[in-house]
Amino acid sequence: MSVEVIQQGIGRIFTDPNADKAREFFRKKNRKLEPKVMSVKDAVTKFVKNGDYLALGGFGANRIPTAVAHEIVRQGKKNMGFAGHTSTHDFQILCAGEVFDKLDVAYVVGLEARGLSPNARRYMESGKVEISEWTNYSLSVRFKAAAAGVSFYPSRNIMGTDTFHYSGAKVIECPFTGVKYAAMPAIFPDVSAIHVHEADIYGNCRLRGITVSDLDLARASKRLIITCERLIPTEEIRRDPSFTSIPYWLVDAVCEVPFGSYPGNMYGEYFSDEEHLRGWLKAEEDVEELTKFLEYNIYSCGDHIEYIEKNGGIRKMQALRNKEFLFIKARE
Amino acid sequence: MADYNTMELMICTAARELEDGASVGVGTGAPCAAAMLAQKTGAPNLVIFFEAGGAAPLIPEMPISVGDSRTTYKALMASGMCEIMETACRGMLDYTFLGGAQIDMFGNLNSTRMGSDHQKPKVRFPGSGGANDFASFCWRMMVMTPQDPRRFAEKINYITTPGWLQGGDSRARSGLPLGAGPYRIITNMAVMDFEETSKRMRIIAINPGYSEKDVQDNCGFELLKASKIEENKPPTADELSILREKIDPYRYVIGR
């Protein structure tokens, strides 16, 4: 007997939700406790392929793996799928490189209270991107399903709206109560990058502050690049394993990137660089200006350190640390 | 009468809707200001939730993102998106404040696009974010927005976030949790609720200085009128001083 599909969205599902196929992949995934420390450049070269489905951790301009996003653009990756799961500044970066052409939308184009990105809007209005529509919670449970090794998750949102109509979800009936649910198909991303506070050389990670969907995302992803503020000794991880929220067997690369969420906020470390983010939005208003801006900030930079040095260096980082701890004038 | 602007009036009106001991899911800007004002006036035990994971913070200043470190300042928990949305889906979030580019007579919101070609929209907006989720799950959804006939549209381009859908019992039939839905629409001119059977938007109070005609003229669909329409109370001197001195001293929100 098959479950009756009561309604169905018209949005394309860009990733295969088949849990047995995912199991075949994970069966072969490395479980050896071995060092995985490498540069962001090497990690992106090795683990990010054209056409892959990509997800980035954090929340738009909070605890984002900026260095990985820049490197993906620098290496000119194309035709990727992307999870726009409150993707704000990270979305600006990927749009600048026209990296993806398939997009699951929950929240894109905007930078919350900072306004809309002119360039992300241009790209989204160009017709170059195939769009499926979802919500933040919908994408969260799609990762949660994958993390649990199942092909879908039932949720009670989106029914009755155009968000459902343009999604790939299906309305089904609960076999116990007869109540309707939106079945959300699992996403097993080909590759994800998550920025954390601390990791050891094997990829055992500690992160502080909000987790957004990153704990599920880490488990759902076939390949996972970790960038961390600091490498810490494995002895410290073993001293109290209760702080480990992403274990090494999920991780393929560990890259130490101090101030790795810059120009975004990093909980308990540094606040976002609002001046730089305003400058970015301003540069996007003019296509030529943006080309120069991207050349300066991404294409001509060898790595994240060079990007930071061009934007105020340690002195700026110190000021952003003060802002994080003083809790004043967030928007200045 | 105290001197105040319409943003201050909307925030004060919204804050008065939040009773002590209730819980609310908020975004940045005016909703956050309203929740903070409520905590400092009539609802000291209001519990604030942010969709990205911040729960029960003592917000030191206006956050710029619903996931920035201000949303977990002295919070009781720094969690994740599933934790917050599932708390709402279980029925433990009483209120939420949402907005959008367009709203219709049933309180449905569009924050996705203008134009009809979904793959090549005339104007692309951010999309749902957590709005559809909060509107689906929180018992009472409120909207704070300035009012004009284009924003309050007879037919909106796209339903991002559910109001009462097509009115009547359509929302109950959709599969969304029963009993939740739009509750108050707070504008620069008036306060609206939704008539019980038709679920159509209805004027219940008008702000000082505006008439019923102003409210209707600045709305793209016919508004119902409550049998008794109140005059909305202006902000008190106390509310204004808390709002200006403690909540938004740099006028990020109230200066708009």
Q: Name every residue whose Cβ is closer than 8 Å to that of residue A155 and which is 6 or more positions away in sequence.
A: A137, A138, A141, A181, A182, A184, B89
Q: Which residue of A has its CA nearest to B90?
A: A156
From the list B130, B45, B37, the residue with the least C-alpha distance to B89 is B130
Q: With contacts defined as CB-CB under 8 Å, which chain B residues touch A129?
A: 119
**pLDDT (0 to 100) of residue B6:** 92
B87 close contact with A: CB closer than 8 A: no
- Per residue in A39-66, pLDDT (tens digit) is 999 999 999 999 999 999 999 999 999 9
- Residue A252 to residue A29: CA distance in whole angstroms: 9
Structure tokens at B19: 């009773």
Pairing of strands A253-256, A223-231: parallel
Contact B67/A59, CB-based, under 8 Å? yes
Structure tokens at A141: 């449970």
Residue carrying the six token digits 């003592």: B58
Contact B118/A131, CB-based, under 8 Å? yes
**Catalytic-labelled residue, pool B51, B61, B154, B230:** B51
CA atoms within 13 A on the CB side of B180: 27
Contact A166/B51, CB-based, under 8 Å? no
Burial class (CB in 10 A: 0-12, 13-18, 19+), B230: exposed
- Residue A61 to residue B175: CA distance in whole angstroms: 34
Distance from CA of A275 to the nearest CA of B (A): 13
Q: Which residue of B has its CA nearest to A327?
A: B60
Residue carrying the six token digits 């599920």: A216
DSSP codes of every residue in A122-179: HHHTTT-SEEEE--HHHHHHHHHHHHHT-SEEEESSSTTSHHHHTSS-EEEE-TTT--
Confidence of residue B252 (pLDDT cuts 50, 70, 90): confident
CA angle A144, A148, A150 (to 5 degrees): 95
Inter-residue contact A62 to B68 (CB < 8 Å): yes
**ipTM score of complex:** 0.97
A140 close contact with B: CB closer than 8 A: yes
Q: How many CB atoms lie within 10 A of CB A126?
A: 11
Distance from CA of B91 to the nearest CA of A (A): 12
- Residue A321 to residue A304: CA distance in whole angstroms: 18
- Residue B7 to residue B168: CA distance in whole angstroms: 32
- Per residue in B195-205, pLDDT (tens digit) is 999 999 999 99
Contact B125/A171, CB-based, under 8 Å? no
Mean pLDDT across chain B: 96
Burial class (CB in 10 A: 0-12, 13-18, 19+), A304: buried
Q: What is the DSSP letter of A263?
A: T
- Per residue in A147-184, pLDDT (tens digit) is 999 999 999 999 999 999 999 999 999 999 999 999 99
Q: Name every residue whose Cβ is closer than 8 Å to that of residue B118 and which is 6 or more positions away in sequence.
A: A131, A133, A166
Residue B51 annotated as catalytic: yes
B221 close contact with A: CB closer than 8 A: no
Contact B127/A108, CB-based, under 8 Å? yes
**pLDDT (0 to 100) of residue A55:** 98
3-state secondary structure of A279: helix
From the list A173, A224, A178, the residue with the least C-alpha distance to A202 is A224
- Per residue in A68-117, pLDDT (tens digit) is 999 999 999 999 999 999 999 999 999 999 999 999 999 999 999 999 99
Terminal alpha carbon distance of chain A: 60
Contact A138/B133, CB-based, under 8 Å? yes
- The pTM (predicted TM-score) of the whole model is 0.97
Which residue blocks in B154-210 are alpha helix, DSSP H? 170-174
For residue B232, is pLDDT > 90?
yes
- Per residue in B12-26, pLDDT (tens digit) is 999 999 999 999 999
Structure tokens at A138: 């919908």
Residue carrying the six token digits 């052409």: A101
Terminal alpha carbon distance of chain B: 21
3-state secondary structure of A287: helix
- Per residue in A268-302, pLDDT (tens digit) is 999 999 999 999 999 999 999 999 999 999 999 99
Q: Parse chain B into domains and list their residue ranges.
A: 6-247
Q: How many CB atoms lie within 10 A of CB A247?
A: 15
Distance from CA of A216 to the nearest CA of B (A): 10
**pLDDT (0 to 100) of residue B107:** 98
Inter-residue contact A53 to A190 (CB < 8 Å): yes
Domains and CATH numbers, chain A: 5-326 (3.40.1080.10)
Which residue blocks in chain A are alpha helix, DSSP H? 19-28, 40-47, 66-74, 89-96, 118-124, 136-148, 162-165, 214-220, 234-239, 274-283, 287-294, 304-310, 313-326
- Residue B154 to residue A262: CA distance in whole angstroms: 44
- As assigned by CATH, the class of the B6-247 domain is alpha beta
3-state secondary structure of B86: helix
Listed by number, the residues of chain B in 165-194 with a beta carbon closer than 8 Å to a beta carbon of chain A are 165, 170-171, 174-177
For residue B62, is pLDDT > 90?
no
Listed by number, the residues of chain A in 78-97 with a beta carbon closer than 8 Å to a beta carbon of chain B are 84, 86, 88
